Amino acid sequence: MNTRLLEILADSFPKILIPGLTVTIPLTAISFSLAMVIAVAMALVQFARVPVLTQLCRFYIWVFRGTPLLVQLFTVFFGMPKMGIRIDPFPAAVIVFSLNEGAYCAETVRAALESVPAGQLEAGYCAGMTWMQTMRRIILPQAMRTAFPPLSNSLIAMVKDTSLAANITVVEMFRAAEQINARVYEPLALYIEVGLIYLMFSTVLTWLQRAGERKLGAYENQEV
């Protein structure tokens, strides 16, 4: 390997990593948190079979799971201004990522809620608790434990999907790498480099997932 290439890699590393820390991670963290709020709310609505709202949830999930993320990003960022709604790149990305991820995670959480035996809800009722109290104290904690591995999966996928935000001018890691590449033209080295940084992020999340699962494993799912 020649020294020029090494220099480019060493020089670009912080220039890619910093947008990773200041844009990719906040974008992921904010979007995923919002997605979780959406997912739990949508899952509860469906679990409780609230009329009308359940149909609205199904419609929302149908649309956001059935269309490409990139198309959604473009629609909000490039399309909405046609209707006079102009949103900055970062908030536009947050909106799209949280709505998109919320649709997928709603299904994960709903499935997890339905996997909790009906007897748990009945036991809550018989202890004198209301539906809300039982959901919050008994059913949701059990469901979230079941949902934790697939949700971690979604989170890891999302870290990488945020690279799509480069297309709507958000200067996150991938766009930062592209900008450097435009100057020095070392696509192979730079794309591998940015790929490795994504890998680094994912690795950390995988560790966190494992630690989280250990912590949640204080009680185990029991066959009844």
Number of H helices, E strands in the chain: 10, 0
Q: Which amino acid is at 93?
A: A
Residue 169 interacts with other proteins (CB under 8 A)? no
How far is Cα 19 from Cα 28, in angstroms, rounded to an integer? Answer: 12
Q: Please classify residue 74 by burial: count the beta carbons closer than 10 Å to its beta carbon, then call 0-12 exposed, 13-18 middle and 19+ buried.
A: middle
State the minimum distance, in angstroms, from the CB of residue 216 to other proteins: 9
Residue 124 interacts with other proteins (CB under 8 A)? yes
How far is residue 47 CA from its own chain's centroid? 22
* Of the candidate residues 129, 171, 184, 189, the single one contacting other proteins (CB under 8 A): 129
Residue 33 interacts with other proteins (CB under 8 A)? no
State the minimum distance, in angstroms, from the CB of residue 119 to other proteins: 4
Report angle CA 76, 100, 36 to the nearest 5 degrees: 125
State the minimum distance, in angstroms, from the CB of residue 152 to other proteins: 19
Identify which range of 32-40, 74-82, 104-112, 136-144 contacts other proteins by CB under 8 A: 136-144
8 Å CB contact between 150 and 185: no
State the minimum distance, in angstroms, from the CB of residue 121 to other proteins: 9
Identify which range of 16-24, 65-73, 132-140, 188-196 contacts other proteins by CB under 8 A: 132-140
Residue 91 interacts with other proteins (CB under 8 A)? no
* Of the candidate residues 41, 74, 117, 167, the single one contacting other proteins (CB under 8 A): 117
Q: Which of 21, 27, 63 lies closest to 161 in space, CA to CA?
A: 27
* Of the candidate residues 54, 75, 142, 167, the single one contacting other proteins (CB under 8 A): 142
Give CA separation, 5 vs 18, 111, 177, 215, in Å: 20, 49, 14, 44
Tell me which residues touch other proteins (CB under 8 A): 117, 119-120, 122-131, 133, 137-138, 141-142, 145, 218-222, 224
